[in-house]
Structure 1
Amino acid sequence: MACRISELVLGCRDPQVLARFWCEVLDFVVLDSEGNEFFEIGPREGFGGPQPTIILSRRDEPEPGKTRLHIDVNATDRDQDAELERLLKLGARPADIGQSGDEPWHVLADPEGNEFCLLKARLNPL
């Protein structure tokens, strides 16, 4: 028997802003919230499905050091260039982590600066 990732938890200054951003990016919905202290977002079928939910938890002070975990995303209904354009319109911005420019992915940051990558391969939606 093995474990499965059920939730990812991200501390942030403004959970509502990040919930809105990541819901648009991933086509998720808000599953639960408590004021502006936390938002749980996930697929419409909710917790326990094939995709983990994301909990955005308010933290007034950032954690010391750089976040060691980041999210990779793949487009499901368009090519990488069209998805990049969509993500930038949603508020993502390019992030420079020393890449050469020849990588088949784009490094971006969400509205609070959390890095994530847009990979080239297009995946089938679940």
Structure 2
Amino acid sequence: MVDTGAAAESDTTTHRGALVWAVGAAITSPDPHRPRVLFQRVPEAKTVKNRLHLDLRVGGERREAEVARLVGAGATELWRGAQGPSAWVTLADPEGNEFCVT
């Protein structure tokens, strides 16, 4: 993404010899079929109690079906976004807690 201009060098750092995003970290499993937990900084200042925002990674080929399933279960679609090769749909559960499907 740096090579294409979609990200700047300052957006990255090196961790254990690998180029990674500077503002996030992930917990991954050696099994590629297991979910990943991503921790990411956001530009907004903290205004209320700590919250957890989940990004549910299902893959582009399954995203629309999963969004439809979640909306059918009571979620509300809020907006869609994309950055570089990544795309997501932000939804809210019935209590207003936001999460993304990527």
Query: Scaled by the length of structure 2, what TM-score is found?
Result: 0.42
Return the structure number with greater relative CO, CA threshold 8 A, min gap 6.
1
Identify the structure with the greater strand proportion: 2
Query: Scaled by the length of structure 1, what TM-score is found?
Result: 0.35
